Amino acid sequence: MSDKPSVLFVCVHNAGRSQLAAGWLRQLAGDTVEVRSAGSAPAETVNPAAVEAMREVGIDITNQTPKLLDYATAESSDVIVTMGCGDACPVFPGKRYEDWKLEDPAGKGVDAVRPIRDEIRTRVEKLLAELRPTD
């Protein structure tokens, strides 16, 4: 892993869970981690309830666009965190993988997205602590 590790968050539509996780990691890590997200079957837009849930905690993800997961992005990432993309997620030897089992916020309102957002924050904080070198 380089001095600036790269983390790729992957879910099916790249509109909910992976966008929430990427938003948290960008906020918490600043420029110390390269943050990426993608989906195996990306939606046209980020889930509005996810956007609102993040806005409530001061994080703006309105400028994010769902992206198609591609081989090069996955291959060049140090850590790949999957969230329900199943067999569509490529596997590369030597990469660190985590599979986060989280409820899918698709079709849910902001009240249902808040607990998902908060669970993702906890997991991102743990991941970030593991990525940061100890002094």
Token duo for residue 46: 């980020």
Q: Which residue out of 80, 83, 89, 102 is catalytically annotated?
A: 89
Q: Which residue out of 35, 81, 85, 120 is catalytically annotated?
A: 85
Q: Is 85 a known active-site residue?
A: yes
* Element housing 11 (H / E): strand 6-11
Q: Cα(31)–Cα(56) distance, rounded to whole angstroms?
A: 22
- Report the chain's terminal Cα–Cα distance, integer Å: 17
Q: Is 41 a known active-site residue?
A: no
Q: Cα(56)–Cα(58) distance, rounded to whole angstroms?
A: 6
Q: Which residue out of 8, 10, 11, 46 is catalytically annotated?
A: 11
Q: Is 89 a known active-site residue?
A: yes
Just list the catalytic residues.
11, 85, 89
